[in-house]
Amino acid sequence: MKYGELIAEMTLEEKASLMSGKDFWQTQDIERLGINSIFLADGPHGIRRQAVASNKMGLNQGVPATCYPTAATVANSWNAELGEKVGEYLGEEAVSQKVHVLLGPGVNMKRNPLCGRNFEYFSEDPYLAGKMAAGYIRGIQAHGVSACVKHFAVNNQEEKRMTIDTIVDERTLREIYLTAFEIAVKEGNTKSIMSSYNKLNGTYTNENKHLMQDILRREWGYTGTVITDWGGSNDRLQGLLAGNELEMPTTSGETDREIIAAIKKGEIDEAILDESVDRLLDLVFSTESAIDRSKTEFDMEKHHRVSQKVAEESIVLLKNDDDILPLKFGKKVAVIGDFAQNARYQGAGSSLVNPTILDHTMDSFEESGILSIGYEPGFERYGKRNQQMIDRACILAKKADVVLLYIGLDEVTEAEGLDRKDMKIPENQVDLLHAIHEVNPNIIAIISCGSAVEMPWIDKVKGLLHSYLGGQAGARAILRVLSGDVNPSGKLAETYPLKYEDTPSYRHFPGREATVEYREGLFIGYRYYDTADINVLFPFGYGLSYTTFEYSDINIDRQGVSFRLTNTGSKAGMEVAQLYVGCRSDKIFRPSKELKGFTKVLINAGESKTIQIPFDDKTFRYFNVATNQWEKESAEYKIMIGSSSADIRLTDTIYIEGTDAQLPYDKEKLHSYYTGKVNNVSKDEFEQLIGRELPDPSWDRDKPLGYNDTIAQCQYAKGLFGRIAYHTIVFTHHFLWKIGKRSTANIIMMSILNLPFRGIARMTGGIVNMPMLDGILMMVNGHFFKGLWHTVKEKVKLQKIHKVVKTKGSQ
């Protein structure tokens, strides 16, 4: 152990105390041994160090920090070096704000377009997500502070996220849902990882030894710290045994006492605790030395300009009929849409950043050179139809040569803790679009949202620019692309289906009660659409430019592929060249193509460059469930170079000598997977894939409610108190939504209704402990007065414990 001598000086109580937080955002300190607290803060795209004291619970406003484009946006740049630059500036701000651990980036897969937190994740593809994440991590940790990759693992829905059991086969787990984490660990060298809330195949992830020990520690060689998501600890002892060092937030010593008691009884070897303490101390000491106590400021203007550059490179041009873009000089432009005046530039929930500077579209026209003749909001932000707004917008549109129509999804539609209800743009915005088209067909739509949307109205617009969520400088970045000052180079990091029903997981998303089944297996995103030959609106990797590129002269050897890329247009531009690989054998089912490399290149007009994309350890591998390890199949592989997954420009083949491992599947029993048509896999076939019977997907309504049941399940509680509590919460949610307090209503849904009962103890910072929770459960389960007395009695005991601890601490 690295800190064995220091650990030998600690008492058992001191060692146990380090395993949970001091408060909501800090680790515990041991003053006599020179071990200080370190501070953790939300930070996927900007630091949210809350302005109030760290012992205050809730999603409180952060001190001002640069709000960079979200991960879903930056992924569209396909530029890992750009991600590293974002990381570097995030790390600098972390140091200035005395933040030791930045809770991000998030690398969960975009399994389904409706996941409410997709704006915080990179891609539907693990290779792209992993490479982008590794860049972020290197940048952040270059300043000595720690990144914290999240949420490990298979956390792909927000509804019931703290209790849902994700049912996924081992191969899909490894190839799709863990590969990005693997790259983050091996190439990014992340110092910390955040475990997810959910169960994985029946076991909570932070207690899952297969995930935490077999894969993370042994196979990947990870030696860093594992931190629970806030309130994400179920059984603290099982978490410790699995190698989960830090439980957040504080439980005011309750779980520390559980660890101490278990060691004294011989249930846990103290050496296990020592190992966890050693890893945590490494995080504490390595990050503490990076914090410059004298540095309290950073260059806000410089960081703002960097944020703008990142947004510019991440904007995706999706449609450009009649070369309506870039805007011609002197064209009279009408600006319509609430998002033009009040930009939608970031997500919601724990990632909400308080920006240092915020650019506004209407304030930036003069420097853009675009001639605006006026602005109309056109629609009410949260969906209410307003004909007068539409009429005024149409009057303005008639006077213009071109209409810039700013549309998208509002802040309460895409939010942590909730999943979207559909893939649609709000109807009042679509009504506005149709009305404007009748008076002026020259419409350029600018979409702001963090995930895929349906576009049945796309034939009504000539130009379509997707800014995603572009951060605090996003408004100015959009105008620079519209004006032609910036040649767009973003490409989609996710597929846009024609309609939600086309997605392979739509029959099994989200899991509504006890489980969610990943019946589509490997075939998410383009892996499904391309293999099953399903038409899409925009393919993975798609994006237009103001110039054109020609691919030629492919050459393949054992090290990789090279080819020639020529800018055949009249403007300098950046192209994202993408390497896909497809195995021509049919012995083991695989997608028709998989991303295995990419590069982004700046090429001047008329210039040619020779591009090389190397093969790596992931190019030809697959996970074999029979041998329980990565293998290569001896086969001919199709090598494809494309401008998107659907626009393959060059192809060739190479024969790879494999490991000739045992075949893992009975082809006759897995027809859906061998054809890739997995949108309606039967229960029997999925059970054949996972090798066991499926658990019951429904809640057990006959048994009393327990620690891991959600407050939403009080709807069928045996006690009247529980049912009244449920209906009161639901009524409050609907009432707040109705009167426009939508963010507050969302917090009720996220933080109360979908909270498991154990979360009452785990998330209240020691105000409620588990014995008190036993009393609350008695009340819910039909023993109101007995439960009330038990709760009061245990509260008194808890207050006495806190008093004793406080007295000892002051001595």
Distance in angstroms (rounded) separating the CA atoms of residues 289 and 277: 18
Coil, helix or strand for 560?
strand
Strand partners, 335: 375, 404
Give me the long-range contacts of 426-431 (CB less than 8 A, separation at least 24): 426/379, 426/383, 427/383, 427/385, 428/379, 428/380, 428/383, 428/384, 428/385, 428/386, 429/337, 429/378, 429/379, 430/457, 431/379, 431/385, 431/390
Backbone angles phi, psi at 113, to 5 degrees: -65, -15
Which of helix, strand or coil describes residue 367? helix
Q: Return the pLDDT at 310.
A: 98
Q: Give the whole-angstrom CA distance, residue 650 versus residue 551.
A: 7
Low-confidence residues in the chain, pLDDT < 50? none
pLDDT (0 to 100) of residue 411:
87
Rounded to an integer, what distance in angstroms lies between the CA atom of residue 610 and that of residue 221? Answer: 36
The token pair at 506 is 């739509």
For residue 682, give the nearest of 671, 668, 698, 695 by alpha carbon: 671
Q: Who's near 726: CB < 8 A, 6+ residues apart?
A: 711, 712, 714, 715, 717
Backbone angles phi, psi at 352, to 5 degrees: -70, 120
Contact indicator for 421, 353 with CB cutoff of 8 Å = no
SS3 417: coil
Q: What is the pLDDT of residue 294?
A: 61
Phi, psi of 272 (to 5 degrees): -65, -45
Q: Tens of pLDDT along 353-382?
A: 999 999 999 888 878 889 899 999 999 998
pLDDT at residue 748, rounded to an integer: 83
Cβ burial of 421 (10 Å; 0-12, 13-18, 19+) is exposed
What the chain holds in terms of domains, given with CATH numbers, is 11-288 (3.20.20.300), 308-494 (3.40.50.1700), 536-690 (2.60.40.10), 711-810 (no CATH)
The set of catalytic residues is 229
Q: For residue 292, what pLDDT is reported?
A: 72
Tokens encoding 649: 């420009």
The tens digit of pLDDT for each residue in 242-277 reads 999 999 999 989 999 999 999 999 999 999 999 999
For the sheet with 648-656, list strands across it: 594-603, 573-583, 635-642, 648-656
Q: How far is CA 796 from the centre of its chain?
A: 41
Q: What is the pLDDT of residue 124?
A: 98
pLDDT tens digits, one per residue of 581-639: 999 999 999 999 999 999 999 999 999 999 999 999 999 999 999 999 999 999 999 99
Residue among 794, 772, 712, 713 nearest 748 (CA): 712
> What is the distance between the alpha carbons of residues 166 and 660, in angstroms, rounded to a whole number?
31
Q: How many CB atoms lie within 10 A of CB 552?
A: 11
Contacts of 594 (CB under 8 A, 6+ apart): 127, 527, 580, 581, 582
Contacts of 32 (CB under 8 A, 6+ apart): none
Cβ(465)–Cβ(318) under 8 Å? Answer: yes
**C-alpha of 52 from chain center:** 26
Residue type, 537: L
How many other C-beta atoms are found inside a 10 Å radius of the C-beta of residue 268?
Answer: 18
Distance CA 164, CA 204 (A): 9
Pair 37, 44: CB distance under 8 Å: no
Asked if 228 and 263 count as a contact pair (C-beta separation under 8 A), the reply is no
Residue-by-residue DSSP string for 462-505: SEEEE--S--TTHHHHHHHHHHTSS------SS-EESSGGGSTT
**What residues pair up with 576 in beta bridges, in sequence order?**
600
Q: Give the whole-angstrom CA distance, residue 505 versus residue 150.
A: 22
Residue 741: strand, helix, or coil = coil
In the prediction, which pLDDT does 764 show? Answer: 84
Residue length of the chain: 811
